[in-house]
Structure 1
Amino acid sequence: MLAWNHVFASRASRMRASEIRELLKLLDQPDIISFAGGIPDPKLFPAEAFKQAYAETLNGGEAMAALQYSVSEGYAPLRQWLQQEMGRIGIECEPDNIFITSGSQQALDYLGKLFLSPDDTALVTWPTYLGALQAFNAYEPHYDQLGFANRTPESYRSLAQSRGGDVKFAYLSSDFANPTGQTVSLEERERVLSLARELDIPVIEDAAYQHLRFEGAPLSSILALDIARSGTIEETRTIYCGSFSKTLAPGLRVGYVVAAKPVIQKLVLMKQAADLHSSTINQMAIAHVAERHFQAQIEKIRTTYMARRDAMLDALSRHMPVGARWTKPEGGMFIWVTLPDGVDGADLLQNAISMEKVAFVPGQAFFADKSGTNTLRLSYSCANETAIEEGIARLGRLVKRHTQNAA
């Protein structure tokens, strides 16, 4: 029998199972109240609209094209719709600035592959999206904490060089971030752009949740701010990653990248080598549904998720012990809880599942340095208000017991 480990590439040692993907298996257990999966509620998917879109595509003149190979850049009408949508939020671009991916997760993988050599440094927030760490890990980088104050460009550069590489990019989720639910302020966005200019690196803006704002004034995306500074998208350094997974349907795996053409051209070459193109028929279906139903769908999911966020914030205020604190997001799917000192999120999860039948994601998974042991992520997207009240009550009882034991 082949001893596989000695033939695996060195990057294989950096691959780890996603704690979140493992926890998703709990969703099939009817006695578990799960706040673990950061996934949209399937009851809110525009299923009838997609049935119509697929029927029209397969029964009409597009059928042969829908089932055929296609261009690597993506389905032209979908890119044209995205061009209009980007213009609506201040990102003036052309279809050639837009590249369709198999979900935004593929975009992160491609960008890690494009920029990172072994021992280079990626700047990420503490905590950050676990899927980004998984995508970047394969390319063997180091990580440094992307802060918004008290760090000079030279401090980032010197640390990266001492590790044997260079700073290659800054990655952050700008609106209602996974896992914290927090939004990067306008001042912080400008500061990131200034830091990137000093370091001469790109900024990867993860905008997966941008459309899920419940309240407050929308903030300009980092790419829009970059265009305002530079005058044109071709002079910018920001790479905008978007997705239809949180708005229309994740199962179709349709995401997109908006950036200057030199970046798009490299990503197209990667696509050609990896999987040729994203599913043609799925892109067509997304284009049909987006053109006809996008704004109505956004309003529907915003209304539902806002009610669930409010229910969870209210329940946390009544059931959590003194010493616990949490974020109050203006949108998205997540609330980030910092537990009282001495309470470990991973230990809490074991008892939460076995004793209280409630699930969440321990926060440590979202830290590149594996800190944050006393934190956890709660998602309210798939639980109704009744389940939220009961689940948070159970969780609060358990946190109180762990707090007393830690004292």
Structure 2
Amino acid sequence: MLDWEKIYATRAKRMGASEIRELLKLLEQPDIISFAGGIPDPALFPAEAFQDAYSDILSGPEAGAALQYSVSEGYPRLREWIVKRMRARGIDANVENIFITSGSQQGLDYLGKLFLSPNDTALVTWPTYLGALQAFNAYEPRYDKLDFSSNAVPEAYGEAAEKAGSRVKFAYLSADFANPTGESLTPMERERVLDLAEALDIAVIEDAAYRALRFDGERHKTLLTMDCERNGGIENTRTLYCGSFSKTLSPGLRVGWVCAATPIIKRLVLAKQAADLHSPTINQMAVARVAEKSFNEQAEKICKVYGERRDAMLAALEETMPEGVSWIRPEGGMFIWITLPEHMDAAALLPLSLKTEKVAFVPGNAFYADGSGHNHIRVSFSCADPATIREGISRLGRLVSNELAAAA
């Protein structure tokens, strides 16, 4: 029998199972209250709008094109809708600056493939989105902690990368309602990210998957908007904006996009031609029709519901969590980031929570490039009603209180 391990590429060692993907299986167990999956509530999907869109496509003149091979750049009508949305944000994009992907996750994979040679450095937040680490890991990078405070020293990043035998290639981050923390960058912090990227002469990957999910607070400019203002237009920018319809319209259709300068778009097209030729045309057509008719209304609807659920979770945390536990109060997104006392281990707490309290969450260490963050928990409020949230957080608070009492 062939020993497969001997013939795998070295990059295969960097590929690991997603802890979140595994935890999503718990959603099928009716006795588990799950705050683990950072997924949209399917009850809020615009199912009827998509039913009408697919019917319109398959009964109309575009039926043949919908079922045929298509261009790798993406469906022109959808790209034109995205252009209008990007221009509304102060980004002087054209259709040539838009590239359709199979979800923004594919965009991250392609960008990792495009920029990372083995041992190159990727700057990421500490913690950061697990899916980004999985996408980049296949290209065997080293990671360094992205510091956008006033204390950041660009030269230190370059020196550390040089010692490792390579260079820094990009900074990756979510500026709005980051997964897992729910945090957003201030305007000053956004400026510092661009300053750092300019000093190091690297790219910036802006993951904007949650940007449309703002419940309250002030809306800030995207990094790409600020980059355009600094440098006189999108063709002179270093920021690569990754957008998605997964959190607003439908994750199952797998439609996302990258907005960037045309030299990057051309390279991404080559990557897609070699990988899957193009994203499913009929899905792109359907998303274009639904987005044209009702994107803003859909975003308003889900923000209202998710905002109420966030408020319910914050109130429950205030009522039930013991002293020594803290959390971030997000202005949008799907997550709340909980910090337990330093001596507690969330990964060890999870099986106990599942067994005794029937509550699922994601241990924080999954989101750290170095596996640290043991005393953090990510909980999602997107798929539970307020009553369920209150019950689940009450159980979790009881568990944490009992564990702290036992350790005292």
TM-score bracket relative to the smaller structure: over 0.9
Alpha-carbon displacement from aligned partner over 1:305-352 (angstroms, at most 9, x marks no partner): 000000000000000010000000000000000001211101110101
- The sequence identity of aligned pairs, in percent, is 66
Mapping of residues 1-400 of structure 1, within 5 Å: 1-149=1-149, 150-400=151-401
Secondary structure of the structure 2 residue equivalent to 1:242: strand
Q: CA deviation at 1:268?
A: 0.1
Q: CA deviation at 1:404?
A: 2.1
2:402 counterpart residue number: 401
The 1-side partners of 2:143 and 2:342 are apart by: 26
Which AA in structure 1 matches 2:265? I
What is the count of residue pairs matched by the alignment?
407
| Cα contact 1:343–1:406 (8 A) shared by 2 | no
The 2-side partners of 1:151 and 1:86 are apart by: 30
Q: CA deviation at 1:19?
A: 0.2
Q: CA deviation at 1:47?
A: 0.1
| Cα contact 1:342–1:406 (8 A) shared by 2 | no
The 1-side partners of 2:93 and 2:116 are apart by: 26
Q: CA deviation at 1:49?
A: 0.1
The 2-side partners of 1:111 and 1:159 are apart by: 22
| Cα contact 1:271–1:277 (8 A) shared by 2 | yes
| Cα contact 1:181–1:336 (8 A) shared by 2 | yes
| Cα contact 1:352–1:358 (8 A) shared by 2 | yes
The 1-side partners of 2:372 and 2:406 are apart by: 21
With the length of structure 2 as denominator, give the TM-score of the two structures: 0.99
The 2-side partners of 1:142 and 1:49 are apart by: 44
Deviating more after overlay: 144-153 vs 276-285: 144-153
| Cα contact 1:223–1:240 (8 A) shared by 2 | yes
Which AA in structure 2 matches 1:404? A
The 1-side partners of 2:280 and 2:19 are apart by: 28
The 1-side partners of 2:90 and 2:127 are apart by: 28
RMSD of Structure 2 on Structure 1 (CA): 0.6
The 2-side partners of 1:169 and 1:405 are apart by: 45
Which AA in structure 2 matches 1:91? I
The 2-side partners of 1:156 and 1:116 are apart by: 16
Q: Which runs of 5+ in 1 are unaligned?
A: none
The 1-side partners of 2:347 and 2:288 are apart by: 42
Alpha-carbon displacement from aligned partner over 1:29-70 (angstroms, at most 9, x marks no partner): 000000000000000000000000000000001100000000
The 1-side partners of 2:47 and 2:10 are apart by: 43
The 2-side partners of 1:340 and 1:7 are apart by: 44
Which AA in structure 1 matches 2:141? P
The 1-side partners of 2:162 and 2:133 are apart by: 21
The 1-side partners of 2:168 and 2:238 are apart by: 14
| Cα contact 1:97–1:260 (8 A) shared by 2 | yes
The 2-side partners of 1:262 and 1:349 are apart by: 46
| Cα contact 2:363–2:378 (8 A) shared by 1 | yes
The 2-side partners of 1:2 and 1:406 are apart by: 49
The 2-side partners of 1:402 and 1:40 are apart by: 32
The 2-side partners of 1:77 and 1:305 are apart by: 30
The 2-side partners of 1:165 and 1:134 are apart by: 21
Secondary structure of the structure 1 residue equivalent to 2:144: strand
Q: CA deviation at 1:151?
A: 2.2
| Cα contact 1:245–1:253 (8 A) shared by 2 | yes
The 1-side partners of 2:207 and 2:238 are apart by: 14
The 2-side partners of 1:147 and 1:27 are apart by: 36
The 1-side partners of 2:396 and 2:163 are apart by: 44
Q: CA deviation at 1:135?
A: 0.2
Q: CA deviation at 1:406?
A: 3.0
Secondary structure of the structure 1 residue equivalent to 2:252: helix
| Cα contact 2:91–2:233 (8 A) shared by 1 | no
Secondary structure of the structure 1 residue equivalent to 2:171: strand
The 1-side partners of 2:42 and 2:221 are apart by: 29
